[in-house]
Amino acid sequence: MSKTIIISNRLPVQLQIDNGKITATPSVGGLATGMKSVHSGGDSLWIGWSGLTDDEIPPGLAPEIDKALAKHGSSKVNLTSEEVDGFYYGFSNRTIWPLFHYFLEYSEFELESWEIYKSVNQKFADAILEKADDDDIIWVHDYQLMLVPQMVREQRPNVSIGFFLHIPFPSYEIFRTLPWRKEVLQGLLGSDLIGFHTYDYERHFLSSVRRLLSLEVSFNDIYMDDRVIKVDSFPMGIDYKKFRDAAKKHDENKAEERSELQKRLDMHKANQPEAKFLLSIDRLDYSKGIAKRLNAFEYFLNKHPEYKEKVRLIILAVPSRSNVPQYQLLKKEIDELVGRINGEFSTVSWTPIWYFYRSMPFENLIDLYTSCDIAWLTPIRDGMNLVAKEYIATRTDKTGVLILSEMAGSANEMNESLLINPNNFEEISEALFQAINMPKEEQQARNAILQKRLERYNVEKWANDFMTSLLNQKQNETQHKSR
């Protein structure tokens, strides 16, 4: 029987070793959260890096680690710390990530990290080749592994390979600045199906293929040698039921079952029932626009002093890639901004910003989603943004307002939210004003539509659509070859 092999940089769990004891914690992040629901349901194997480098694994513990991962249907690729530096912190996060999010000035083009990216991609490809049979379906994920499809294809010409990019694919004018642009495209074209979150990313990709490789492109089919590669958009959904059920359970919690965070939120709500809680949740990443959001909050408080003591912004910034200098600088900038704004506006009874720099357990995430009146998400660029969808899913009484950046892929499907340009403080300030004053009935009417859509296009549907399209593509290709 054929199996599905999922392959991504990180596994669905991260391992830690403490005094020789192995513990596994769920990975945080869009890809992990979304694919976990797919993986837990079926007969699939997930290949990725465990999060531990070779020198962090004590000799003799490797078999235990393999066993711990096998419990989660996972198998690891071993990486040295030099490989993690060059491949992950280097080429993936200092070259591709900034470039694909239009932060050209942050992109570093270093031959050495490109070479390591290639060799680590080969390691991932080898790990697949070791486990895969010809009739298996291989689903490769994201920008860290763009060369893997071609590397697998060379060895197994008949296997089905799908690739999904979780981040934006930039316009040709941006992409062409990459010194290894042709190699990256050729790597991706080892797939039978290449998926993006939005139609725009798909278009940008096709335009780069046409102009850089001079291949024949018809609608969303690419003709290369005797193969046809399909390109399509699959907007990723969330595990709607999981968020919905967690929120319902949260609603029913008795006082003593409530978390410390929830008790604190309840206390503030009881003291100031008219005050509004604004919520911002992101990995601490420059693409998420956290610093701009803080500046916009300051702009709003200056423009609308009547809302002093009446709004509170909760910022959850999840630590991410803290080895990369830009992320360290951003952390410093955000710390300073929060300190400055709180210093400027706080009163004895009010601190305008609550700032958490950590990852929270899922239960606390639900506390925040369900307790905050407004979710305020203003990425400068974002492939999709699942937080926006999760917030709406948890609103059991359908109240709550979502303010969302037009630059997030999810904005395409969330027209009923208040869409803003993250660079336009005036527009953001107006949206905040509108959100704070939006009648309950209007909130419910907007969210009813959004919830219906999110429930229908959930992550399971997303994965099924991708898989069905991949299988159809394989059949079409076989027919094309036999013509």
| Sites of contact with ligand GDG (CB under 6 A) | 28-31, 33-34, 166-167, 236, 281, 283, 316, 318, 359-360, 362, 365, 382-387, 390
Work out how close the CB of 128 gets to ligand GDG at its nearest, in angstroms, rounded to a whole number: 21
Residue 190 CB, shortest distance to ligand GDG, in Å, is: 21
Please say which residue, 65 or 316, places its beta carbon nearer to ligand GDG. 316
CB-wise, 98 or 136, nearer to ligand GDG? 98
Closest CB to ligand GDG among 107 and 429?
107
- Euclidean distance between CA atoms 57 and 346, whole angstroms: 47
Say if CB 394 and CB 243 are below 8 A apart: yes
Locate the DSSP E strands across 148-215: 160-164, 193-196
Q: How far is the CB of 322 from ligand GDG (least distance, A)?
A: 15
With b meaning 16 or more CB within 10 Å and e meaning fewer, what string describes 447-462?
A: beebbebbeebbbbeb
Indicate the burial class of 126 (C-beta count within 10 angstroms; 0-12, 13-18, 19 or more).
middle
Of 127 and 236, nearer to ligand GDG (C-beta) is 236
CB-closest chain residue to ligand GDG:
30
Q: How far apart are CA 258 and CA 413, in angstroms?
A: 33
Question: CA 434, CA 280: separation in Å to the nearest integer?
Answer: 17
Sign of CA dihedral 96, 295, 309, 344: positive
Burial of 137 (0-12, 13-18, 19+ CB in 10 A): buried
CA dist list (Å): 436 to 167, 443, 476: 31, 11, 52
Element (H, E) at 229: strand 227-233
Is 35:172 a contact under the CB 8 Å cutoff? no
Residue with tokens 């239009």: 102
Nearest approach, Cβ of 318 to ligand GDG (angstroms)? 4
- CB 6 to ligand GDG: min, Å: 13
Longest dimension (CA), the chain: 78
Nearest to 329 by CA among 286, 297, 362: 286
The set of residues, in sequence order, having a beta carbon less than 8 Å from that of 331 and lying 6+ positions away, is: 284, 322, 357
Min separation Cβ 151 and ligand GDG, Å: 23
CB nearer to ligand GDG: give 275 or 360: 360
How near is the Cβ of 439 to ligand GDG at its closest, in Å?
Answer: 28
Q: Which is nearer to ligand GDG, 132 or 193 (CB)?
A: 193
Q: Which is nearer to ligand GDG, 175 or 234 (CB)?
A: 234
Q: Give the shortest CB-477-to-ligand GDG separation in angstroms.
A: 26
Return the amino acid letter for 63.
P
Entry field: residues in the chain: 483
We find the least distance from the C-beta atom of residue 293 to ligand GDG, in angstroms, to be 14
